[in-house]
Amino acid sequence: MQDNPQINKENINRFLCENCGANMVFDPRNGRLTCPYCESTKAIEQTGGTITEKDFHSFLRPDSERLQPMAQNAMQVSCETCGATVTFVPPETARNCDFCGGKFVAQPKSADPLVAPEGVLPFSVTTQSASGALKSWISSRWFAPNNLKVLAQPDKIGSVYIPYWTFDADSASDYTGERGEYYYVTEHYEDNGETKSRQVRHTNWFGASGAVSRHFDDLYIPATKSLLPDYVKHLSWEFGELVPYEPAYLAGHKAQTYQVTLEEGFELFKQDAAGIIYNDVRHDIGGDEQQVHSVNTDYSNVTFKHLLVPVYAGAYRYNNKVFQIVVNGRTGEVQGERPYSWLKIGCLTVVILIVLIIILLIASTGK
């Protein structure tokens, strides 16, 4: 029988250098697969076509055919400390958790099938640039502990794609409420024996009910619980620059498995959408003031996409607390919290006290 390389499972999603046979990695410098040994590069073949929406309801209780691993030979490992699961493609390995700094105790296993990513923002910032950005972030901060400085070395931060859901939907809402209209009444009052008048505002309330509808296009819901919510809020993404997902983008990097399920993601979408619909209702009620008593919303034509966005992440311990650092893999922007090194602050205080005592001594002996 003929050897068909296309069905040779060992070759699927292995990205071998045609020049020297080494494993290539996705390189943020050129957006291509690049050989770390001979610098040969190769364009990433787009096999899937365009980024398409998936029907929400057919994925709610998906049969196994609808799910697939992020790459055919992908491995995954879970962190027993923080619960994050990351996927990677051999020969890439994962020894430490990028989110909490914990060591992986469990052995990696074949990656579980999941709702395959539709789109990805590939890394465009290199590990070196990310650690450079981290270094200058740290050096602009006083009394940073040394554990934090160690993290600024390129091999201490991991490149990992984090998951997002995005939803499209049509909404139709019936509401009840009240419309408040202002009117003014002239009131008279005494001021130092003098009679004065003033305009006082009152509100007439009228019952109101009606319907509003809206089309939601791409509401983005983070599907990670491993990054501090505040970091996630401040990480900004140009989602317009998404490209169709290909396993090759994973070569040399890791991807986090979504921790917010599709169903939970849709609940979060509805929370965001409810705020927007509430404003629509108030606008529809009109008047000077509005009260909203009830809003009942039906969603239809719900579609979604699973997206991956790139970050460099690292964590370190200080006084038994975990501190996390995240660098945006597209912009190099650093998100981090930092503890104050009380040892360093204490040392500086002692030095200042000694200098003060010396100055006082000199001043008193000089008399």
Residue range at the interface with Zn ion (CB under 5 A); choices 92-100, 127-135, 162-170, 216-224: 92-100
Nearer to Zn ion, 20 or 354 (CB): 20
Binder of Zn ion out of 73, 81, 176, 331 (CB under 5 A): 81
Binder of Zn ion out of 86, 89, 97, 134 (CB under 5 A): 97
Is residue 17 part of the contact set for Zn ion (CB under 5 A)? Answer: yes
Asked if residues 151 and 269 have their Cβ atoms less than 8 Å apart, the reply is no
Query: Residue 97, exposed/middle/buried by CB under 10 A (0-12, 13-18, 19+)?
Result: buried
User: Taking CB under 5 A as the rule, which mask of x and - marks residues 331-350 in contact with Zn ion?
Assistant: --------------------
Is residue 20 part of the contact set for Zn ion (CB under 5 A)? Answer: yes
How wide is the angle at C-alpha 100 spanned by C-alphas 95 and 105, nearest 5°?
40
CA distance 245 to 114: 14
Nearer to Zn ion, 97 or 227 (CB): 97
Nearer to Zn ion, 84 or 115 (CB): 84
In terms of Cα–Cα distance, which of 256, 301, 238 is closest to 117? Answer: 256
Is residue 172 part of the contact set for Zn ion (CB under 5 A)? Answer: no
Nearest distance from residue 22's CB to Zn ion, in Å? 5
Residues 6+ apart with CB under 8 A from 40: 17, 18, 19, 20, 24, 34
* Tokens 């001594």 sit on residue: 361
CA distance 133 to 334: 7
Nearest distance from residue 328's CB to Zn ion, in Å? 20
120 φψ region: left (φ > 0), alpha (ψ -120 to 50), beta (else): beta
Nearest distance from residue 3's CB to Zn ion, in Å? 23
Is residue 40 part of the contact set for Zn ion (CB under 5 A)? Answer: yes
Binder of Zn ion out of 16, 32, 38, 317 (CB under 5 A): 38
Nearer to Zn ion, 103 or 202 (CB): 103
Is residue 19 part of the contact set for Zn ion (CB under 5 A)? Answer: yes
Specify the pairing of strand 85-88 against strand 75-78: antiparallel
Residues 6+ apart with CB under 8 A from 253: 25, 26, 88, 92, 123, 159, 160, 161, 310
* 306 φ, ψ (degrees, to nearest 5): -105, 120
Nearest distance from residue 240's CB to Zn ion, in Å? 32
Binder of Zn ion out of 44, 71, 79, 162 (CB under 5 A): 79
Subset of 101-160 contacting Zn ion (CB under 5 A): 102
- Kindly state the number of chain residues that form the binding site for Zn ion, as judged by CB under 5 A: 16
Q: Which residues bind Zn ion (CB under 5 A)?
A: 17, 19-20, 22, 35, 37-38, 40, 79, 81-82, 84, 97, 99-100, 102
